[in-house]
């Protein structure tokens, strides 16, 4: 009985191939199903915000999103795809308004283009500094503004000295 059954079994290489192929397909389908389930769960969690009414004097629900380039790539295509596939549906379910900024800072060194680390940090820090600067300048005779300008001038002189040494 086992002799007939044994003749119908595939060889060890074919068994290994089909086992690997079946495992990969199963893992892919499981990942797809779980990511869809999680996305639906997040959309359901965010949907309560869409049902809340906003008064005329309340500030609108607006989020500023910074989409950065992954370290292994130079373009923002993949980051935008990730945004559109996973995050945008949650924002739409929650009726959130958003402003998106793509951060793509690269530099060329010895003919090789690479992504600069800390691009988002630098961009956000500059925006905060600009906002504070505008706030301070709007106030007349501000002592803090005078001290801030003195410190800025001192820092500029220090940077110029360092550049002259190098």
Residues 49, 94: Cα–Cα separation, whole Å: 5
Q: What is the sign, positive or negative, of the torsion defined by CA atoms of 39, 77, 92, 127?
A: positive
Residue 11, both tokens: 């060889």
Q: What is the rounded average pLDDT of the residues 126-146?
A: 77
pLDDT at residue number 120: 80
At 26 the pLDDT is 97
The whole-chain average pLDDT of the chain stands at 82
Cα distances from 141 to residues 76, 130, 147, 150, in angstroms, run 44, 19, 11, 14
Q: What is the pLDDT of residues 94-123, one digit of tens each?
A: 888 888 887 776 666 777 666 666 678 888
Instruction: Provide the pLDDT for residue 107.
Output: 66
Among 79-88, 100-109, 139-148, name the most confident range: 79-88
What's this model's pTM, rounded to 2 decimal places?
Answer: 0.60
């Amino acid at each position: 009985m086992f002799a007939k059954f044994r003749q119908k079994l595939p060889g060890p290489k074919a068994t290994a191939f089909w086992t690997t192929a079946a495992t990969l397909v199963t893992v892919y389908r499981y990942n797809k199903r779980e990511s869809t389930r999680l996305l639906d769960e997040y959309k359901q969690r965010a949907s309560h915000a869409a049902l809340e009414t906003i008064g005329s004097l309340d500030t609108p629900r607006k989020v500023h999103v910074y989409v950065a380039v992954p370290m292994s790539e130079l373009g923002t295509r993949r980051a935008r795809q990730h945004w559109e596939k996973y995050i945008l549906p949650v924002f739409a379910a929650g009726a959130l308004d958003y402003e998106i900024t793509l951060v793509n800072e690269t530099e060329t060194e010895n003919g090789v283009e690479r992504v600069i680390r800390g691009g988002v940090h630098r961009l956000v820090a500059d925006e905060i500094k600009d906002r504070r600067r505008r706030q301070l300048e709007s106030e007349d005779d501000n002592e803090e503004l005078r001290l801030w300008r003195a410190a800025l001038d001192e820092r500029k002189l220090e940077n110029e000295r360092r550049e002259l040494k190098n």
